[in-house]
Chain A
Amino acid sequence: MDHIFFFYFAAVIAATSLLVVALRNPVYSALSLLIMFFHVAGLYVTLHAEFLAAVQIVVYAGAILVLYLFVVMLLSIKSEERYHSQLPVAGLLGVMLCTEVILLFIQSRTGAAAPAAADPIAGPGNTEMIGEALYSTYLFPFEVASLILLVAMIGAIILAKKDINEPVQ
């Protein structure tokens, strides 16, 4: 059963990753990236890393991808022509990566056995454990981080506000 899910997720990840670079319209590329992020999150669930899966969706799909889309739409990039000049560099990097994958594959065949996959985490779910750590050991940094968000929020408003230079009577 696990294997079926793994192959499903892996296949979709591989296919959508290819689509990200192959599609001509950057918005479609971003949407394939979105599908890929969801399937990576699915992989995390099969590994019992529910928290990581949730973070993957919230952070990558929710925040980073939206940022990408904003940039794409604001700049209204219609086609990806300007990236064609990077083909030699991309090709070189691609060849290097492929060699690395092949080498690793050969090594895993001939060399020592690959390290076994990590055991599923026992005890309470990792979300609970992270929550407990956040609110006990890491309470102080957690609160400081919340202040950072407050500053970022108010700072953005102040810098974007219109009537900042009202004269003082």
Chain B
Amino acid sequence: MTFPLQDLLTILPELIVIGTACLILALDPILEATKKDVLAWLTLGALAMCIGLTSSQMTGRVSAFSGMVVIDAYAAFWKLLLYIVTGLTVLLSLAYLKAERLSIGEYYGFILLALAGMMVMVSGADLLTIYLGTELMSLSLYVMAGLKRTEARSLEASAKYFVLGAFSSGVLLYGISLLFGLAGSTGLSAIAAAITAHGTGDPLLSLALVLLAVGFGFKMAVVPFHMWTPDVYQGAPTSVTAFMAVASKAASFGAFLRVFVEGLGAASADWSVLFTVVCLATLALGNLVAIVQTNIKRMLAYSSIAHAGYALIGVVVAGGHSGEGASTGFASVLLYIAIYSFMTLGAFALVGMLRKEGQESDQIEDYAGLAKREPLAAFFMLVFLVSLAGIPPTAGFIGKFYIFMAAVNGGMTWLAIVAVIFAAISAFYYLRIVMVMYMREAEGSIATHSRLETSPALSLVLACALAGVVLLGLFPNGLWSLASQAAPLLK
């Protein structure tokens, strides 16, 4: 009944995150309303410590708490990405919460608790831990989506997210219970061993596979499980939307890959067919529906659905191969999600802070003539949109390039061609906003025009996101070597 101190040391980053979250929850009531910024700085301090600690865990594979948690380069890759994204979200929230006049100290506590859930997800080596991590993340996000309580849309987003999320958790749990029945254990390695022993023909396995795919599909927001995404992304406070679109998607991909490769790798022939269909549907629907959106948050929601589709190409390609081919495929997924994080976060940061009369101006119409009013903001938006469209020399191009190369090298050239066609379609709706910003004159009186509410924190977020998008576009080698170092650890 004792456990070695070593186990506690391996989860030290998690402990720091949770400890800081509890500290914030305790400090919040005794802090004056004007001094709530301290909580954000506390959060950033904790994240900085975690970055240091996790960077030292990049080598080897340590298993702790009787195989429930595993710390390896793969988990470390996701965790580092999550820390950076969370840090940027905290900075964005610092500006955004002030602009929205929301003074909720618990907000930062919830961000950290959601982060803790994500960390548990990506380093879980047991379906039980992964499921609980997912729940911890989702539950925190449900609350955060509803924080703008004066707006019915925010509450609707929270309720909708909660109901659909609870439903998808149920489906996920059902799949897990079937796998437990099949393997007699929830450990990923035990499940892999059981599948190898029994063969993949078992209908129970196929059913469990489908249910797990549905459960994770909801969390990753891929078609046909994307229905909640536009409404929730639109209704939630924009800083929370950015966090959901980026961090929760990254963590879900991290856990999803771990489960399907380490646990269900032997059945990869089955699931790669399944995900080919999902991937094509996601690419088609995400890109086509984004065209007709008039609200930029909804458009970015559909764009985030479409980007999950591009990432799935890497999964499909890797699922059809073993050894070197699989590793390259998975590495391209990691790279893609990391790049996606920077550009999406930057775009959402701008959307949240472009405001008129104290309101967010989230209609695409509001961006008319932005280049004249706010040349710098328009330029930043231009870079993020160009990157989302995948045009060189931005990082978005690099991400798509590695994914398509993996597909071509993996003998799935047709999939790469389909994806390129959809990427061309996506350029239409991204560049339409650029067109609106640069070519169209603003109509109506000057007072109703949206302006960027600047603050040092926001500038820092935008600078980091821009640096990510530009530098990763010009020098992707560092990130690629990290990703290709992490990916082979999935086995």
Binding site for B on A (CB under 8 A): 132, 135-141, 144-145, 147-148, 150-152, 154-155, 158-159, 164-169
Q: Do A165 and B133 touch across chains, with their CB atoms under 8 A apart?
A: no
Given contacts A138-B128, A141-B128, A159-B143, are A148 and B136 in contact (CB under 8 A)?
Answer: yes
Q: Do B140 and A151 touch across chains, with their CB atoms under 8 A apart?
A: yes
- B86 contacts across to A, CB distance below 8 A: none
Q: Do B65 and A154 touch across chains, with their CB atoms under 8 A apart?
A: no
Q: CA A142 – CA B222 in complex, angstroms?
A: 30
Q: Do B68 and A138 touch across chains, with their CB atoms under 8 A apart?
A: yes
Given contacts A148-B139, A151-B136, A151-B143, are A165 and B102 in contact (CB under 8 A)?
Answer: yes
- Cβ of B113 within 8 Å of any chain A Cβ, yes or no, is yes
- Cβ of B18 within 8 Å of any chain A Cβ, yes or no, is yes
- Cβ of B158 within 8 Å of any chain A Cβ, yes or no, is yes
Q: Do B33 and A139 touch across chains, with their CB atoms under 8 A apart?
A: no
Q: A140-B68, A159-B158 are in contact. List 4 more A-B contacts (CB 8 A).
A: A140-B65, A144-B133, A147-B136, A155-B140
Q: Do B139 and A152 touch across chains, with their CB atoms under 8 A apart?
A: yes
Jot down 16 A-B pairs with beta carbons below 8 A, ordered by A: A135-B1, A136-B1, A137-B66, A139-B65, A140-B11, A141-B129, A144-B120, A145-B132, A147-B117, A151-B140, A152-B139, A155-B110, A165-B102, A166-B103, A168-B33, A168-B98
Q: Do B149 and A169 touch across chains, with their CB atoms under 8 A apart?
A: no
Q: Which residue of A lies closest to B32 (CB)?
A: A169
Q: CA A158 – CA B69 in complex, angstroms?
A: 31
Q: CA A55 – CA B126 in complex, angstroms?
A: 25
Q: Which residue of A lies closest to B66 (CB)?
A: A137
Looking at chain B, what size class is its interface with the partner chain?
35 or more
Q: Which residue of A lies closest to B150 (CB)?
A: A165
Interface residues of B in 407-453 (CB under 8 A from A): none
Interface residues of B in 115-151 (CB under 8 A from A): 116-117, 120, 126, 128-129, 132-133, 135-136, 139-140, 142-143, 146-147, 149-150
- Cβ of B477 within 8 Å of any chain A Cβ, yes or no, is no
A-B contact count (CB 8 A): 86
Q: Which residue of A lies closest to B146 (CB)?
A: A159
Q: Do B3 and A158 touch across chains, with their CB atoms under 8 A apart?
A: no
Q: CA A168 – CA B107 in complex, angstroms?
A: 15
- Cβ of B34 within 8 Å of any chain A Cβ, yes or no, is yes
Q: Do B142 and A155 touch across chains, with their CB atoms under 8 A apart?
A: yes
Q: CA A132 – CA B128 in complex, angstroms?
A: 17
- A167 contacts across to B, CB distance below 8 A: 101, 103
Task: Select one of A144, A158, A168 contacting B132, CB under 8 A.
Answer: A144
Q: CA A112 – CA B229 in complex, angstroms?
A: 53
Q: Which residue of A lies closest to B106 (CB)?
A: A158
Given contacts A132-B1, A137-B66, A169-B34, are A151 and B103 in contact (CB under 8 A)?
Answer: no
Interface residues of B in 45-102 (CB under 8 A from A): 64-66, 68-69, 97-98, 101-102
Q: Which residue of B lies closest to A136 (CB)?
A: B1
- Cβ of B173 within 8 Å of any chain A Cβ, yes or no, is no
Q: Do A151 and B110 touch across chains, with their CB atoms under 8 A apart?
A: yes
- Cβ of B281 within 8 Å of any chain A Cβ, yes or no, is no
- B142 contacts across to A, CB distance below 8 A: 155
Q: Do A168 and B158 touch across chains, with their CB atoms under 8 A apart?
A: no
- A152 contacts across to B, CB distance below 8 A: 139
Task: Select one of B3, B25, B103, B106 contacting A139, CB under 8 A.
Answer: B3
Q: Do A165 and B18 touch across chains, with their CB atoms under 8 A apart?
A: no
> What is the distance, in angstroms, from A26's C-beta to the closest C-beta of chain B?
24
> What is the distance, in angstroms, from B176's C-beta to the closest C-beta of chain A?
12
- Cβ of B104 within 8 Å of any chain A Cβ, yes or no, is yes
- B34 contacts across to A, CB distance below 8 A: 168-169
- A145 contacts across to B, CB distance below 8 A: 132
> What is the distance, in angstroms, from B385's C-beta to the closest C-beta of chain A?
31
Q: Do A159 and B136 touch across chains, with their CB atoms under 8 A apart?
A: no
> What is the distance, in angstroms, from B79's C-beta to the closest C-beta of chain A?
16
- B135 contacts across to A, CB distance below 8 A: 148
